[in-house]
Amino acid sequence: MIKRLTASLLTAWAFALGAAAHEAPADTTAVPEAESIVLEPVERPDSASTPAAAADSTGLKESAYDRWEEREVEFNPDPTRAVWMSALFPGLGQVYNRRYWKLPIVVGAYLGLGYATSWNNSMLDDYSRAYRDISDNDPTTKSYMDFFPPTVSEESLDKTWLTSLLQSRKNFYRRNRDLCIISMVGVYLLAMVDAYVDASLSHFDVSPDLSMDIAPAIIPEGRGQRPAFGLQWALNF
């Protein structure tokens, strides 16, 4: 009994193996050789060349405020600062307002007036000393003779005429010296006013867009009932 059962199990197992081998078809597809396979490169975006990749690599998103853009800023001078700079040194306010061509004018005026003041003051000292020497009774003080050549003697001079001449020359050079000093103060104040006005009107429209209109007009006459006819002239700017 056991032998029959064993034989039947072996027969069934052999039959199952034959059926499985009959159902599975043989794979006849040829496998391509390794040399016949061609790999083509695929273009990928460079992570460093794109802003999105750069933002993803750092974890931050770029905004419009993070980009630096060069822009032209219009110069707008402060009038108060221009006045104080001009008061500190004449011509410095004009440099602050970027009116560089005015600096030689201010400096030249100061140098010229300074030289004129010094020269008139030296002449005033000489004539004042000569006037004092001729007015006193000391015969040893003869500085007024320095204005004459050595061939002129003191006895040949009219002391009354010479005293009046020295006094008038002394007053003349004193007046010129004082006028030079006053002019220097005027240039100082004028430079301050110019710096303030120039800074205040730095953006004033000075375009030459001016037009003149001439049209006939009826002018009312106050002394009569009939109006007068004439031309009306108007400037538009």
Q: Which comes out higher in pLDDT, residue 88 or 35?
A: 88
Q: How many CB atoms lie within 10 A of CB 120?
A: 20
Q: Residue 105's CB: how many other CB atoms inside 10 A?
A: 15
Which pair of tokens denotes residue 101?
Answer: 């061509």
Strand boundaries in the chain, DSSP class E:
211-219, 228-236
pLDDT digits (tens, 9 = 90+) for 117-137: 999 999 999 999 998 888 887
Give the amino acid at 76.
N
C-alpha 79/C-alpha 168 separation (Å) is 46
- The structure tokens 């220097």 sit at 184
pLDDT of residue 186: 95
Copy the structure tokens of residue 217: 């007009």
Q: Domain residues of the chain, as ranges? A: 79-204
Distance from C-alpha of 146 to C-alpha of 144, rounded to nearest angstrom: 5
- Whole-number mean pLDDT of the chain? 76
- Which one is predicted more confidently, 151 or 181? 181
In whole angstroms, give the CA distance from residue 187 to residue 113: 10
